[in-house]
Amino acid sequence: MSAERAAPSLRWLEALVLPLANLVLALLLSGLIIRLIGESPLAAFRLMLSGAFGSQEALGYTLYYATNFIFTGLAVAVAFHAGLFNIGAEGQAYIGGLGAGLVCLGLGSLPFWLVAPLAIVAAALFGAGWALVPAWLQARRGSHIVITTIMFNFLASALMTWLLVNILIKPGQQSPETREFAPGTWLPSAHDLLARIGLSFAPSPLNLAFALAIAASALVWLVIWRTRWGYALRVAGKNAAAARYAGISPARVTIAAMLLSGALAGGLGLNELMGAEHRILLDFPGGAGFVGIAVALMGRNNPVGIVISAILFGALYQGGSELSFDMPHVNRDTVVVIQGLVILFCGALENVLKRPLSRLWSR
Amino acid sequence: MRIILLFLLSAACALAEGIKPAIVYDFGGKFDRSFNQSASEGVARFTRETGIAFRDFEVTNATQRVQVMRQFARHGYNFIVAVGFSQASAVEQVAPEFPDVRFVIIDGNVDLPNVESVNFREQESSFLCGMAAALSSKTGKIGFVGGMDIPLIRKFALGYEAGARHVNPKIEVFENMTGSTPSAWNDPTRGAELAKSQFGRGADVVFHAAGGTGMGVMQAAQDAGLLSIGCDSNQDYIHPGSVLTSALKRVDVAVYRAATAARNGSWVHGHVTFGLAEDGVGYSLDEYNRAILTPAIEKRLEDAKRDIVAGRVAVPEYRE
Amino acid sequence: MNKGETALELRGIDKRFGAVHANRAVSFSVRRGTIHGLIGENGAGKSTLMNIVYGFHPADAGELLVDGRAVAIRSPQDAIAAGIGMVHQHFMLVPNFTVLENLILGAEGGWRLAAGRAKARAAMERIEREHGLSVPLDAVVEDLPVGIQQRVEILKALNRGAEILILDEPTAVLTPQETSQLFELLRRLRDQGRTIILVTHKLKEIMAVTDNVTVMRQGAVVAGVATAATSPQALADEMVGRAVSLEVAKGPAAPGVPLLSVRDLAVRDRKGVPRVKGVSFEVRAGEIVGIAGVAGNGQSELLEAIAGLVEPERGEISVSGRPVNGLDPRERRALGLAHIPEDRLRMGVVAAFPARDNAILGYHDRAGYNRGPFTRPARISGDCARKMSDWDVRPPAPGLRMSLFSGGNQQKLVLAREIDSNPVVLLIGQPTRGVDIGAIEFIHRRLVALRDAGKALLLVSVELDEILGLADRILVMAGGEIVGELSAAEASEEKLGLMMAGIGKAAHG
């Protein structure tokens, strides 16, 4: 009977044991590959672990990468709760960063406390704006959002290349990048922030955007689970017919959810541009929009889960980078394969282990 | 006391080993059969001749550039080559933190006392290739396939077109860019499509400046029985008899020269530009293209080369 | 093969899912060449038991004997090999395949489809001849009516050599006509020596078609008798575990002012097919108006148009004298129009949500549940707990996911939600579909109480018994029109049946 799934232990199993088991499986397979390459898997994993968490600098880089993934993971999750698969976080982050960057370039003379909020708003607005067209097409015309958001990723990169090469480029320079933002617009680094309260933390790109990402996670949790608007969003996402029955317009929810999703993706621009690069450059999202899909899947679209899995992916990036730095036989492609395996097992094959595990459990 | 001892020890080591070199490749990776690979060939030659090995790293995201340069510097690497214009800002950031480390940025400009900026006058080699294309074209129409619409590629395009017009003022030049994402440098399928469409419009020679994408361009020319022009490395051998010539950009020479200078203690910071005069750029002529790059064409190219070096012919340069 | 008297015997089958004891030492045997009924309320353990027999779940204890021999059934393949076939409540067909393709699915016979197809066609034609069971082999499944789809499922089982055929709630999706056709087929199969196990919660079906019946309650067998030796009342009492009343007890109606009025309402579906063709009627305070009709004759569209879910082509709808045309469901709700949708799972609840979130669906933006932009979880939960105890929803756990409640309890929560809002007009579609007897009795009493409180109720049901038992006035719909009206006193199943079929059309009063 249907009561078979009532056991609360199963939910716990789904939320915790399953992702962990998937992770272990992915790492086992990665270990096999490292073995085949001729390195010791154990040493490699130790290297990755210490490379990701072993020092303040390592931790700084890990959390810095995680910041991007939190923003994009949240973006994917919010859309997902509304039943929409937003593949466009990459492009939304790109354009969102443009918004933040334009504010920093144009209003760089303003004091930080004024320019930072403006830049945050601009990043959100630009990101949301970029999500609006696919959202509108889905809501009013039924054009599939997966297709349109993918197309908008390409449009975003075409637009940004054009802008950076023709308009925003710093004159007399080869590289399509803008001039550096005025230092007054930079998001303070963790190093500086902690120094102000007397704590020492090694320099790294980790910056205030991490705190913003955590705040955004809390906000998303609050909006999705503690407001009537979030309720409407979840109803529309789970059962469109029930939404119409309840007087909720699925079309309106689609548009609103995508706006929020795009705004969250725009947060990546704050971390990358205002926090680390201090200029607008080509392709700064660097695929984080797509990693966000895996992060959201693995985090089960729950902000707490997303923060945890974003840190895991941050560790994979940072630890992987250390790995390819220190192990001569492990090149960057091997690291990409390891990252790919984790995404495959934790994201795409998420439910493969579900049955055997729950069977084991009910024994 | 201990510190002084350590200092002396490390100084002694440095003297004994000469330099401890490292190189940071950009997104393309060191086997891109083009720009990065050319740099790695310079590294290989240096290692072969001196027995000194480079440590290397291929970046996968923008943040790693700064991170890796710092890590190399911290691990005692005192000569670091950064390949590609995207790395300029990273060098700008890291170089001041390690004043004792010598940096080389290829395709970029960084004004710091411990950085050597190496640039190439790609327009000059492109000019010669444009001439070769115009001289070989029977239709009076030629093509250009770039990777991404960025200043570097515009430099190539501008020189190419000027060279073609130098020979035939009425020539028609089709220009296409592959894309706007990093995959534009590694999309041979798209490269082939673009080349085919240019052939369809009447072009019979096509020049690529598109990294891995160029493989598709050259393949399409071979399939259509028409001509292509390679880029960065000598690519004549890839389709003998179909690759008219290659616009050489001797990144290998630049890397080898800088490393050797650093080893001999003659390395200086500042800006270096390689053009025809320095043999840093050029066109290729070997057994693979001898049959199609006729002596008549060769003579025209050599004349032009002399004129450019002597300043009698001005090659337009892209300025943003 | 040794063909004994007993086709299937279950001995001490026991199964637990976590804390739930789904089957408690179940033993009974099924005689060859009979139709054996297995009856019990939702949650009594019937489906679990049959899923064990069919190899979906392993039993914790007990054994299974087929033709007197113990068999180990660990998967549906084992079950099929043992000659057991099953037709599920939710069909397991590929909707965009043809009937033939579905029939050979999983038994293609080699990589060349054509060969398997030809063989299957011949086999099918033989089975068709033997059983008089005809299906259009080349039609695409999704284009077929559910009754035919079900036949395809039965054919599939027979094609794989099923001697024992299990049907799980086969009539839930069928019209009365399709149901009687199904029963005819089952009788024919029985007469040819096959054994049939009919799992149902409907007493009428047990009485109509089975030879023997086993009653289950709370996971255990509580009775096993020859059908001829029992009565619906006795079975119902056994199922529920106490004396239940099958009749709806209600006094005469005292209708007051019209609260819902519909004038010349016409509705086209999304494809532009006219579904409701100019219908007019009123529902007054203190009366239950029933709409009878074979499913698919416009009742659903009528209900949805009144609720505001579909835009009518023309016509006027008013609630307490106020026109509601153009208002969305939320605005209509605010005017006192509540709606219990026909398809609970599709529309009435969000199965993945906990009960408390379902208890506010449609009312989620009312002041009591919100403070500023934020919801009030404690308030919502408490409110749900109150509704649950009011309506005897079991288990009374507001945090439990909706899909984990039985159909009857889901329905009770939907009714609680809609009636708790104190509506003026209540639209009710299939109030007891998939609901157990004990709960049906309860729901019917509450609906009558609502009528007696002066509300206007519009009831759509395919269960004629229900219409006859509850409604004070009955409108019969056929082909999108109201073809007749009867008062409760003059209505009978025969009269309604004739009208529904479009015969004996009475003047619309």
Give the domain ranges of chain B: 2-120+251-274, 122-249+290-310
> How confident is the model at residue C48, as a pLDDT?
87
For B199-210, the pLDDT digits (tens) are 999 999 999 999
**Which single residue is written with the structure tokens 């705040």?**
A215
Q: Are B96 and B71 in contact (CB under 8 A)?
A: no
The residue segments making up the domain with residue C18 are 6-240
Residue C386 resides in a domain:
no
| C48–chain A Cβ distance below 8 A for any pair | yes
Quick one: C466 and C340 in the same domain? yes
| Residue C383: inside a domain | no
Decide: helix, strand or coil at residue C458: strand
**b (16+ CB within 10 A) / e for B252-282:** bbbbbbbbbbbbeeebebeebebbbebebbb
Supply the DSSP symbol for A39: S
- Reported as a single tens digit per residue, the pLDDT across C71-128 is 999 888 899 999 999 988 777 888 888 888 888 776 666 666 677 778 778 888 887 7
Cβ of A174 under 8 Å from any chain B Cβ? yes
Closest CA to A188 of A164, A157, A209, A212: A209
- Whether residue C377 lies within 8 A of chain A, CB to CB, comes out as yes
Q: Phi, psi (5° rounding) for residue B114? A: -120, 25
Task: Find all residues with CB under 8 Å of A91, minimum gap 6, and list them.
Answer: A130, A149, A152, A153, A154, A155, A156, A157, A289
C180 with C54, same domain? yes
Interchain contact C373–A (C-beta under 8 A)? yes
Distance from CA of A207 to the nearest CA of B (A): 14
Cβ neighbours for B90, distance < 8 A, ≥ 6 positions apart: B65, B66, B69, B82
Q: How far is A346 from chain C (nearest CA, A)?
A: 22
Chains B and A are touching, with contact defined as 3 or more CB–CB pairs separated by less than 8 Å: yes
pLDDT at site C25: 93
CATH architecture of B2-120+251-274: 3-Layer(aba) Sandwich (3.40)
Rg (CA), chain C: 24
Chain C nearest-CA residue for A6: C404
Q: To which H or E segment does residue C275 belong?
A: strand C274-284
**Closest CA relative to residue B55, chosen from B99, B25, B12:** B25
Residue A4 has pLDDT above 70, yes or no: no
What SS3 state is found at A252?
helix
Of the three residues C209, C240, C271, the one that is the final residue of a domain is C240
Q: What is the C-alpha to C-alpha distance for residues C144 and C100, in angstroms, rounded to an integer?
A: 13
ipTM computed for the complex: 0.83
Give me the DSSP letters along B180-202. SSGGGGG-HHHHHHHHHHHHHTT
Q: Looking at the predicted structure, is the pLDDT value of residue A1 above 50? A: no
Considering the domain boundaries, does residue C226 fall inside one?
yes
Which is it for strands B205-209 and B141-148: parallel, antiparallel or unpaired? parallel
In A29-144 the beta strands, taken as DSSP E runs, fall at: none
What is the DSSP code (8-state) at residue B142?
Answer: E
Topology of domain B122-249+290-310, CATH: Rossmann fold (3.40.50)
Closest residue on chain A to B22 (Cα): A325
Q: At C358, list the tokens.
A: 């379902």
| A55 in reach of chain B (CB within 8 A) | no
Contact of A227 with chain C, judged by CB distance below 8 Å, is answered with yes
Task: Name which of C61, C160, C168 is nearest C105 in CA terms.
Answer: C160
CA distances from A232 to A146, A255, C369 (A): 22, 13, 13
Chains that touch B (3 or more CB pairs under 8 A): A
Q: What CATH number does the domain containing C203 carry? A: 3.40.50.300
Question: Which tokens in the block code for residue C58?
Answer: 């392993």
Asked if residue C273 and residue C315 are part of one domain, the reply reads yes
Residue of chain A nearest C334, judged by CA positions? A247
Neighbours of C293 (CB within 10 A): 27
Structure token digits, residue C344 = 């609970």
Residues of chain C with pLDDT under 50: 1-2, 504-509
The one-letter amino acid at A109: S
- Classify residue B226 as left (phi > 0), alpha (psi -120 to 50) or beta: beta
Q: What is the pLDDT, as a whole number, of residue B11?
A: 43
> Do A2 and C357 lie within an 8 Å CB cutoff?
no
Amino acid at C389: S
Q: Decide: residue C251, CB within 10 A, 0-12 exposed, 13-18 middle, 19+ buried.
A: exposed
Strands C6-17 and C61-66: antiparallel
Q: Kindly write down the DSSP assignment for every residue of C344-403, as one continuous string.
A: IIIII--TTSBHHHHTTTTTTTSGGGEETTEE-HHHHHHHHHHHHHHTT-SS--TTSBGG
State yes or no: cis peptide before C423, omega within 30 of 0: no
Contacts of residue C237, defined as CB under 8 A and 6 or more positions apart, other chains included, come to C243, C244
**Touch of B by C (3+ CB pairs closer than 8 Å):** no
| Main-chain dihedrals φ then ψ at residue C145, nearest 5 degrees | -65, 155
∠ at Cα A283 (A280, A288), nearest 5°? 110
* Mean pLDDT, chain B, integer: 89
Cβ pair B71:A174 closer than 8 A: no
- Searching chain C, which residue's CA lies closest to the CA of residue A227? C374
pLDDT of residue C258: 94
- Split at pLDDT 50, 70, 90, the class of A327 is confident
Domain count, chain C: 2
The set of residues, in sequence order, having a beta carbon less than 8 Å from that of A10 and lying 6+ positions away, is A358, A361, C18
Chain-centroid distance of CA A41 in Å reads 28
Provide the token pair at C120.
Answer: 């299957």
Minimum distance, in Å, between the CA of residue A2 and any CA atom of chain C: 6
pLDDT digits over A242-276, tens only?
A: 999 999 999 999 999 999 999 999 999 999 999 99
Number of H helices, E strands in chain C: 16, 22
How is residue A154 annotated by DSSP? Answer: H
Q: Do domains B2-120+251-274 and B122-249+290-310 have the same CATH topology?
A: yes
Q: Is residue C357 part of a domain?
A: no
Of the candidate ranges A58-72, B9-23, C67-81, C399-413, the one whose mean pLDDT is the lowest: B9-23
Q: Are residues C29 and C101 in the same domain?
A: yes
Helix axes A228-238 and A56-81, enclosed angle (nearest 10): 70
CA A155 to chain centre: 20
Distance, CA of A180 to CA of A186 (rounded, Å): 10
pLDDT at residue B32 above 80? no
Asked if A215 has any chain C CB less than 8 Å from its own CB, the reply is no
Alpha carbon B52 to chain centroid distance? 24
User: Per mean pLDDT, which range of A24-33, B265-274, B307-316, C165-174 is the poorest?
Assistant: C165-174
List alpha helices for C421-509, DSSP H.
437-452, 464-470, 493-500
Edge-first strand order for the sheet with C456-460 is C337-340, C425-429, C456-460, C287-292, C473-478, C481-487
Q: Are residues C177 and C28 in the same domain?
A: yes
The answer to whether A225 touches A219, Cβ cutoff 8 Å, is no
Are C219 and C277 part of one and the same domain?
no
* Chain B closest-CA separation from residue A67 CA (Å): 13
Distance from CA of A199 to the nearest CA of B (A): 22
**Alpha-carbon separation of residue B300 from A305, B206, B303, C180 (angstroms):** 68, 19, 5, 96
- Look-up of token digits 């590629």: B153
* Strand blocks (E) in C2-98: 6-17, 20-31, 35-40, 61-66, 69-71, 84-87
Q: What are phi and psi of C216, to 5 degrees?
A: -115, 145
C98 and C223 inside one domain:
yes
pLDDT at C91: 77
Binary contact (C17, A241; C-beta < 8 A): no
Q: Chain A residues with CB inside 8 Å of C309's CB?
A: 244-245
What residues of chain A lie within 8 A of the CB of B180, using their CB?
Answer: 154, 157-158, 160-162
Q: Which residues of C touch A244 (CB under 8 A)?
A: 309, 329, 347
DSSP strands (E only) in B72-189: 79-83, 102-106, 115-120, 141-148, 172-179
Q: CB-based burial of residue A67 (10 Å sphere; 0-12 exposed, 13-18 middle, 19+ buried)? A: buried
pLDDT of the residue at C139: 87
Q: Is C132 helix (H, G, I), strand (E, B) or coil?
A: coil
The reported pLDDT for the residue numbered A358 is 67
Averaged pLDDT score across all residues of chain A: 89
The pTM (predicted TM-score) of the whole model is 0.82
A276 interfaces chain B, CB cutoff of 8 Å: yes
What is the rounded distance in angstroms from the CA atom of residue C192 to the CA atom of residue A20? 55
Same domain assignment for residues C342 and C489: yes
The domain boundary, picked from C240, C275, C300, lies at C240
User: What pLDDT was estimated at residue C509?
Assistant: 36
pLDDT confidence of residue B5: 46
A11: pLDDT confidence band, cut at 50, 70 and 90? low
Record: contact A161-B149, CB cut-off 8 A: yes
Residue among A2, A7, A245 whose CB faces C406 most closely: A2
Lowest-confidence region among A16-30, A193-207, B90-104, B249-263: A16-30
- Beta-bridged to residue B310, according to DSSP, are none
